[in-house]
Amino acid sequence: MINKLTDKIKKTNAPIVVGLDPMLSYIPEHIQQKAFAEYGETLEGAAEAVWQFNKAVVDATYDLIPAVKPQIAMYEQFGIPGLAAFKKTVDYCHEKDLIVIGDIKRGDIGSTSEAYAVGHLGKVQIGRQSFYGFDEDFATVNPYLGSDGVKPFIKVCQDEKKGLFILVKTSNPSSGEFQDQLVDGRPLYELVGEKVAQWGASCMGDSYSYIGAVVGATYPEMGKVLRKLMPKTFILVPGYGAQGGKGADLVHFFNEDGLGAIVNSSRGIIAAYKQDAYKHLGAENFADAARCAVKDMAADIDGALKNSGR
């Protein structure tokens, strides 16, 4: 799957993943009203609004991007109907030949971790048959319970040729409370990055491992260090746009070949119609605004990489 991701980034010239994180406040009134007219102001109505919103955004952007990243909490808040919308979104994105990164941030041990891995990336055995559950292509994993929490995911990835993005240095302001703490004189996130590189060495694609890392765009200097520690690791970079990251901050996350990283933007794309730059398009044309935002983001990153010589 990492080979497919790399190939699609080369084809689109857009190392971008669209975060499908649809809060109801992001969904235009006309989408909500239509869903509520059919299902009422219920969990089912909210889930239908989410699904229709996602579908429109995907239809408007799928030819420009390699991947999407639905954040499962945005669906879980609507209970079982929300999870059904999550699954419909995953399946529809696959129909559009998009790579799906399940942003699930799971982190547990033993049989619990194995069950998460099977449910999101692998197949569950039922009698003599086996079935895919959510069937994403990658999943995000929290490694802070140690190898016991990660190895079950790695095994499923090896069986299914799928991948992981393991949290190393996250983009949120308080991440340093733990991730920056010194251990034998070095910040913890560096030690985690080295561990990710070790795990990835046994899971190589053609050029990159399918065990990747999450490193926030809001910490470019730390990203520069981690890029050197993890030369064969693909880095998922959240924090672009709404969290303050911009193209010029991103160049050190990429290798000299111009690959090795994929940058996430969520509300900066899916709620672009609310931004001053795209407000003239109106809420009715929210999907067109998302498409414009993707194009502008791709141009920003491409310009920054070219200026850096990558």
CB burial of 27-52 (b: ≥16 within 10 Å; e: otherwise) equals bbeebbeebbeebeeeebbbbbbbbb
Burial class (CB in 10 A: 0-12, 13-18, 19+), 276: exposed
What's at 147, amino acid-wise? S
Q: Check: CB of residue 253 under 8 Å from CB of residue 261.
A: yes
For residue 306, how many other CB atoms are within 10 A of its CB?
11
Residue 105 annotated as catalytic: yes
Whether the CB-CB separation of 301 and 15 falls below 8 Å is answered with: yes
Place of tokens 């975060």: 19
Give every CB contact of residue 198 below 8 A, 6+ residues apart in sequence. Answer: none
Of the residues 96, 105, 151, 295, only one is catalytic, namely: 105
**Which two three-digit tokens encode residue 108?**
């547990």
Q: Are strands 138-141 and 163-169 parallel, antiparallel or unpaired?
A: parallel
Q: Are 233 and 208 in contact (CB under 8 A)?
A: yes
Which positions are catalytic?
A: 105
